[in-house]
Amino acid sequence: MSTVDTLRAAVPTSPSSGIRALARFGFAAKGAVYLLMGILALLAATGQQGGQTTDKKQAVLTLQSLPGGPMLLGLIAFGLLGYIVWRFTQAVVDTESKGSDAKGLGRRIGYAGSGLLYASLAWYAAKLAMNGSADAGGNTQQTLTARVLNWPGGEWIIILVGVIIIGSGLYQIYNAYSGSFHKHVNSSDIPAGQQNTVYRIGQLGYTARGVVMAIIGYFFVQAGRQHRAAAVGSTDEAFDLLASMGPVVLGIVALGLMAYGLYMLVQAKYPVLKRI
């Protein structure tokens, strides 16, 4: 096949193939962000220069100082946009065949919510790429938590949010060791000789991500119990808690997040996307 034919084959020929291409860019961008978070945390755990415990926005900000920083940030923004489009397609078109019962609608709303969570990160990366600076928005979680705590029954709402986040983290860990995840890898186009390696990388990644999510959920529960918005924390605070347990603990979780980033990159190369 000639170079022209190869390029022509890579161009989306329908809305369906276009969304699939966006999804692959999305996996790649998400994987890059998690790799950055894991690498920076690992450097911090080992006492290396440049190491820091960061959240997603802070990790993206580090790209600005690299050669070709604006281009890298633009690619991250575009990729995350693709991830958002794919998540909303999953929710609206029901590409995963979850159905319209209560459980199915819950999962589909979860897909849309996952897309929304990355919207602010995509916008942040885009502003950095275009303007060279962007407002990280302060601690939005604490601001929103403070507002909710002033509502009637606000403490219980925040505690419920924390329990849901903890449950989501535990589900990530369950997903890592369930048979469905193994089947998911085996049913992909990943070469047979590499499937077990990818499976192990995915297990480590989902476990580390689940641990971090569970810690963030714990922060919300404490904020509700104490009626104190300042108790809420994000990924960097979760890293700080892990660091207080020792550099080995932080290093293990950092490696896990790097593994999750690698697994997302594998998903970008060998996507498992149903017909849309």
This prediction has a pTM of: 0.84
- Torsions phi, psi for 85 (to 5 deg): -60, -45
**DSSP letter (8 states) at residue 274:** -
Q: What is the pLDDT of residues 31-77, one digit of tens each?
A: 999 999 999 999 988 888 777 777 888 888 888 888 888 899 999 99
Q: What is the pLDDT of residues 70-102, one digit of tens each?
A: 899 999 999 999 899 888 888 888 777 788 888
Q: What is the pLDDT of residues 107-132, one digit of tens each?
A: 888 888 888 888 888 998 998 888 87
SS3 content of the chain, % helix, strand, coil (to 5): 80, 0, 20
Residue with tokens 């193939």: 17
Q: Output the pLDDT for position 11.
A: 41
Neighbours of 48 (CB within 10 A): 11
Q: How far is CA 257 from each of CA 191, 211, 254, rounded to the nearest angstrom?
A: 23, 10, 5
Rounded mean pLDDT of 151-159?
Answer: 90
